[in-house]
Amino acid sequence: MKIKRLLALSIILNILLIGAGIIFAYVYRDKILQRFVSLKGNPAIVMYGNSITAQGKWVELLGRTDVMNNALPGMSTYHFLQLVQTHVIDLHPKICFIKGGINDITVGVSQEKLQANYQAILEKLLKNHIDPVVTLTIYEQNDPYSKKEVDALNHFLIQFCDDHNIAYIDLNHSISDSTGLKAEYAVDKTHLNEKAYRIWAKEISAVLKQKGI
């Protein structure tokens, strides 16, 4: 009888452990896949930007295992420029999707410095034969000052991209209105929900298909 109880207990514990493992793998599936991409090396695609990019589950969203999320939460374009060599160039990707600027705007970095940093990053990528794709800076919710600064930055980025044959993605057309980021696509003033990420991923997939990557 005692042996039967121990056997039943063992079976229950094994079921619980397997269940916990499945739940863990599901919750952290993108991080696990990112580790796989890192170990495999030489990703074709690098996602580079601030926390908005960092929070995207790009392996899952894009349905591929050659995408590395090397975003830098809380960082500005100055930090992107300082770390672009190690976080993008040294990985030798075919393409880099970059988005940033809102942290600079939040802390009052001038448009002159912000635009200069962004330009230097894009020029470094081009020089190293990495195809950059800019996701234009997304509006924040109900912040007229921020929106004005975002417009100024995006105007510069569109002009630079047009002049250098660089593709860009404008999410504001889909997820923002005249007041800024729509509540239905936001988790807070600045960051995006899963619905917005799916729209973004669709735009990225279209670019990848167009470029044959």
Q: Over the stretch 104-146, which tens digit does the pLDDT of each residue have?
A: 999 999 999 999 999 999 999 999 999 999 999 999 999 999 9
Residues in the chain, total: 213
Degrees, nearest 5: CA angle 137-140-143: 125
pTM for this structure? 0.82
**Cβ atoms 141, 196 nearer than 8 A:** no
**Of all helices (H) and strands (E), which one includes residue 154?**
helix 144-163
Tokens of 137: 């800076």
pLDDT above 70 (res 13) = no
Sheet containing strand 95-99, edge to edge, reads 67-69, 45-49, 95-99, 131-135, 167-169
Q: Give bridge partners of residue 67 from the DSSP assignment.
A: 45
**Cβ atoms 158, 179 nearer than 8 A:** no
pLDDT for the residue numbered 42: 74
- The distance in angstroms from the start CA to the end CA of the chain is 63
